[in-house]
Amino acid sequence: MSKDLILTNITKKFDQIVAVRDMNLNVKEGEFVCFLGPSGCGKTTTLRMIAGFEIPTSGTVQYDGKLINDIIPQKRNFGIVFQSYALFPHMTVAENVGFGLKMRKVPKAQIKKRVDELLELVGLSDQKHKRPPELSGGQQQRVALVRSLATYPQILLLDEPLSALDAKIRVNLRAEVKRVQTELGITMIYVTHDQEEALSISDRVIVMNEGYIEQIDKPIKIYKNPGTRFVADFVGTSNFFEGELWGNTVTNKETGLNFTISKDVPGTLKSAQGNVNISIRPEKTQLFKDAQKFPKDFEKMNLKEGTIEVVTFLGVIVRSLVKLADKHVIVDITEKDFEKSMMKMGDTVTLYFPPEDFLVFES
The residues pairing with 205 across neighbouring beta strands, listed in sequence order, are 34, 217
Pairing label, strands 204-209, 32-36 = parallel
For position 32, what pLDDT does the model report?
97
Which pLDDT score, from 0 to 100, does residue 303 have?
93
pLDDT at 272: 56
Contacts within 8 Å (CB) and 24+ apart, 297-303: 298/352, 299/260, 299/354, 299/355, 301/249, 301/258, 301/259, 301/260, 302/259, 302/260, 302/352, 302/353, 302/354, 302/355, 303/350, 303/351, 303/352
Residue 269: what pLDDT? 56
Q: How far apart are CA 218 and CA 148, in angstroms?
A: 26
In words, the CATH class of domain 237-362 is: mainly beta
CB 306: neighbour CB atoms within 10 A? Answer: 21
Domain ranges of the chain: 5-229, 237-362
Does the reported pTM lie above 0.85? yes
Nearest CA to 329 out of 285, 362, 299, 359 is that of 285
Three-state SS annotation for 224-271: HCCCCHHHHHHCCCCEEEEEEEECCEEECCCCCCCEECCCCCCECCCC
Which fold would CATH assign to domain 5-229? Rossmann fold (3.40.50)
CA distances, 253 to each of 39, 116, 227, 246, 363 (Å): 37, 69, 27, 13, 16
According to DSSP, the β-strands at 249-251 and 66-67 are unpaired
Alpha-carbon span 311 to 313, nearest angstrom: 7
- Please indicate whether the domains covering 5-229 and 237-362 agree at the CATH topology level: no
- Distance of CA 132 to CAs 19, 112, 141, Å? 35, 18, 10
Over the chain (363 residues), the average pLDDT of each successive run of 10 is 90 95 96 96 96 96 94 92 86 93 92 93 92 91 90 93 82 88 93 94 97 97 93 94 89 86 67 81 92 79 94 94 92 92 91 93 82
- What's the pLDDT at 93? 94
What is the C-alpha separation between 343 and 287, in angstroms, rounded?
10
The answer to whether the beta carbons of residues 245 and 272 sit under 8 Å apart is yes
